[in-house]
Every structure is written in C-alpha cells, then in structure tokens.
Amino acid sequence: MISHAINIHSLCVSQNHSGMRLDLFLSNQIDQLSRTYLKNIIEEGLVKVSDVTVIEPDFRVKLGQLVEVTVPAPKPVEHRAQNIELKIYYEDDDVLVVEKQAGLVVHPSPGHPDSTLVNALISHCGSSLSGIGGVSRPGIVHRLDKDTSGLMIVAKNDKSHQFLARQFSEHSMERAYLAVVWGIVSPSKGKISGNIGRSSRNRKKMAVVKKNGKRAITNYKLVKKLEKCASLIECRLSTGRTHQIRVHMADLGFPIVSDAIYGRKKNNPAKKEFEKFYKRAAEISRQALHAYLIGFEHPRTRQKMIFKSDLPLDMKKLIG
C-alpha cells in the first residue's frame, strides 16, 4: 500500500446519493479520478465511511455519512520517451500548451501502450512532468478523445498540476470547440444541460441519463450554415464529461459529422443539392470536432492566458 498521500477528500452523503454504491458515489463527486481508479483505492483500504475503513466498492452509502478518501501519491513514470512531433503554442517552466492532432491518444492504456501524447511529452520535457491521482499520466490535466484535435494544457511540475487541475474541477478553465454537425441547428444558440452517464444499452457509450449521471452543461451557437444540410457550430463547456459535446449534440438531434460512435449510420444525401457536402463528409476519417480555444490562469504569475488555433486541414476541406 502507498503511504504518502497528495490529497484527502471529505464528502457528505446527500439525499440524492443515499443508497448509491460507494465507487459510483465517489466518481460522481471527484471529477478528476476515474471510477476504476476509485474502485482500486477503495480495495486498498484508503476510503473511510464514518471513520470506518470500507474495502467493498459496492458498499451502499447512507444519508449524512461522512466519506473520507485518501488519494495516494503518483507512481513513478515508467513510460518511455518517443520522438513524436509536438506542435507547441506556448512553453515556460510551469506549463506547456500543445495542439494534439487527430488520431493521437493522450495517454498510454492497455490498448495503446505507447505512441501517445504522454510519450511525446516525456521525450520533450524529461522527468519533470507531474502525475495525478496515482496514475502514470505525467503532465496531463485534461483529455481530448483520440479523434478530436485541438489545444491542451500540460503541467510541467506538481504545483502547476494541482493549480490547473483545481481550475478544471471548478470549471473556471475556458474551453471552446468548433464542430461540424448534421442539420441546421435550431434554435441557433442554446444551453444543453442533460446529465451524462453510461448508456444502459451499450456500456461502452455515454448517454444523456435521468439517474446517476454527472451534471453536464454545453453552450452552443451557430457559426455558419453549410449547404442547407449541416452546420458549423461553436461549443463552450461549463463541465468536462466524457464525450460531452458528442453526446449532447447527438441527443439534440444534430450529431457530429463522421462520429463513428454517436453519428449517423447512413450518410446518403436526401437531396441531390446536398451531394457535394456528403462527398466531402465521406472523406473525413474522424469526428469533425476541434478544441480551438483554451484559457486559464497561469499557476505562477496568476495572469489570464488565452490561446487559439486554426481549424485543421481536414475540417477546412469539409466546410468547403
């Protein structure tokens, strides 16, 4: 068992969460840690309920109980450095702002042991990168899906990581995306606030759910109509849930173009006038989603920093 802790969370069970599994309760309350990781630390004996250590993830919490979670220190980084090209927008001793290309996985996992953004960062920054929550994801404060391109902020030391992770969990970090979706969005701007959780039909997918989901808010607006059959939209996140924009826009009836999980199953034009756009849509090999803006308070200077990036070539071609 790891003895040194980097953080302790004290949580009180509310009426809405009474009767919930312990691991699910914790994943609803601690955004930056996965349910799998929380299940592991429960089994490690690092969680107490009303001052009693509980090692069963399926323990049912009750109204008014105090849950104390001890998050262990990060494990040493063991991933190898790989010389993968990085597009760097900004770098100093504390932070790094990079643009992740579509197709690049952020961190190693059983299905992707290397050739990730983390491997590239280790090569560029060396051993100074920080970890989080006991998991070997050095420097990573937030994530982008494999096939989503765009800007990411990376912490180069532990103090910066904790400061930036707090901004992320408090939803004070500014993030905006550009997406191409099917249909002409109506109304032209709006706020989507459906909770997001695992789909009951397919556990590999996320969905807007009525029970046990996490609060999720996406603000969108129409930027440009595309040949009467699609829209370029901007989305700004008030929360950061898995697949949030993809799930919210699909639920609203405007799925992202070329989204293999939440998009349209058939892409045949309903009218001949749409054929040109549909041909361009068939050529893009990933969801048309790009994180074009990120804004944050610098961990050392406390200055507000905002960065923007252009749309990648495949999305420019799609828009026409």
Question: pTM for the full model?
Answer: 0.76
Percentage above 70 pLDDT, the chain: 90
Residue 145 annotated to the active site? yes
CA angle, corner 122, sides to 6 and 136, nearest 5? Answer: 35
Confidence class of residue 3 from pLDDT cuts 50, 70 and 90? very low
Tell me: do 84 and 40 sit in the same domain.
no
Tell me: do 62 and 87 sit in the same domain.
no
Tell me: do 218 and 143 sit in the same domain.
no
CATH number of the domain to which 67 belongs: 3.10.290.10
- pLDDT tens figures, 60-115: 999 999 999 998 876 665 778 889 999 999 999 999 999 999 999 998 777 788 89
Asked if residue 11 belongs to a domain, the reply is yes
Residue-range definition of the domain harbouring residue 55: 5-72
Tell me: do 276 and 180 sit in the same domain.
yes
Burial 61-86 (b: 16+ CB within 10 A, else e): beeebebebbbbebeebebebeebeb
Asked if residue 304 belongs to a domain, the reply is no
- pLDDT tens figures, 104-133: 999 877 778 889 998 999 888 876 665 544
Tell me: do 110 and 196 sit in the same domain.
no
Tell me: do 183 and 203 sit in the same domain.
yes
CATH number of the domain to which 115 belongs: 3.30.2350.10
Asked if residue 130 belongs to a domain, the reply is yes
Selected catalytic residue, list 51, 92, 93, 145 = 145
Q: Are the beta carbons of 74 and 136 closer than 8 angstroms?
A: yes
